[in-house]
Every structure is written in C-alpha cells, then in structure tokens.
Amino acid sequence: MVRLGYAIPVNRFNRAPRKAIVLNPYAKIVLSSQDRFLAERYGVLVVDVSWNKLVSGESVFPKIRGEHRRLPFLLAGNPVNYGKPFMLSSLEAVAAALYILGFKEYALKLLSLFKWGRTFYKLNEELLEQYSKVRSREEVDEISKYYVLGEA
C-alpha cells in the first residue's frame, strides 16, 4: 500500500496519531460504524507484521498509542492464508475496516490492487455488508458470533 501511494509509513510507534484506529487482533473492542468519526479525523493504522510473530507472542500492540479495535470474523482471500478466519493480510484488514466504516469505494479500490482482492471481497461480501449496516458493536459481535459458532 505504501509503495503504491495508498498509505503513509509510520516508522516509530510514538509518531502514530494519538486517536487513530489501530487494527489490533487482540483488542477487546470490535470495530463498528461507531468508529467512523475517528477514522475520518485521525486515520486507520495497520501494523504490517508476520502472523507467526503475533502467534508467538511478540506483540508490538501495547507500544502503539491509539484507539485499538479488532476486526470481526472474516476469511482471508490472500494466497498464503486463503480461507483461514482472522488471518488477513494488511491490505485485507484495512479494506475490511474501510468497508465496515462506510468507505466502501475506497475499500474496493484497495482490493483491486491485487488479484486476490476480489477473492477476499467475494468470500466476505455478505458479512461486510452486514457489519457495515449495523449501528452498534454488540450487533457486530452478534453477527460475528453467529458465523463462528452458528448461533445468535
């Protein structure tokens, strides 16, 4: 995204905007349309780090200031983690966040940058639509829980 001019790198954690939405898979608060004002004003921050490091506990997230949010249940469309829940690439994570926040055109533009972007969208189109239409975090969690556990 940086190489193509769609993102600005932040090389030091203390340089991130204080109120930016930090996409953090360990955050307690789920991303919802309620966060749109934060994204409009301060931006969305994604940490481009290997999933292997995240799984091994080498988390950088406590060092990053901002409003930490986790994405709800989504399936990866990228070739490395295809079909795996929650194992999104940085591009997929940002595109999903933008879609949920109501910036659908920007999300689809980002996804068009890679061949597998359309695959991600097709795998998650129904979910992304549902997540973007609800107004509360609780509703997002209910939808996510339904897809994960098969219960409401």
Whole-number mean pLDDT of the chain?
Answer: 86
* β-strand partners of 46: 23
The band of 151, judged by pLDDT with boundaries at 50, 70 and 90, is low
More confident residue, 30 or 8: 30
Q: Does the pLDDT value for residue 57 go beyond 60? A: no
The band of 130, judged by pLDDT with boundaries at 50, 70 and 90, is very high
Q: Provide the 8-state DSSP code for 12.
A: S
pLDDT at 126: 96
Mean pLDDT of the region 32-54: 82
* β-strand partners of 45: 22
| Spatial distance between the Cα atoms of 68 and 28, rounded to a whole number of angstroms | 8
The residue count of the chain comes to: 152
Give me the sign of the Cα torsion angle 44, 45, 48, 49.
negative
| Spatial distance between the Cα atoms of 39 and 106, rounded to a whole number of angstroms | 13
Amino acid letter for position 131 = Y
Task: Supply the Cα-derived Rg of the chain in whole angstroms.
Answer: 14
pLDDT at 93: 95
- Encode pLDDT of 140-149 as tens digits: 999 999 988 8
Q: Does the pLDDT value for residue 127 go beyond 80? A: yes
Q: Does the pLDDT value for residue 4 go beyond 60? A: yes
Q: Does the pLDDT value for residue 43 go beyond 80? A: yes
pLDDT at 2: 54
Q: Does the pLDDT value for residue 14 go beyond 70? A: no
| Spatial distance between the Cα atoms of 45 and 23, rounded to a whole number of angstroms | 6
Give me the sign of the Cα torsion angle 12, 59, 94, 65.
negative
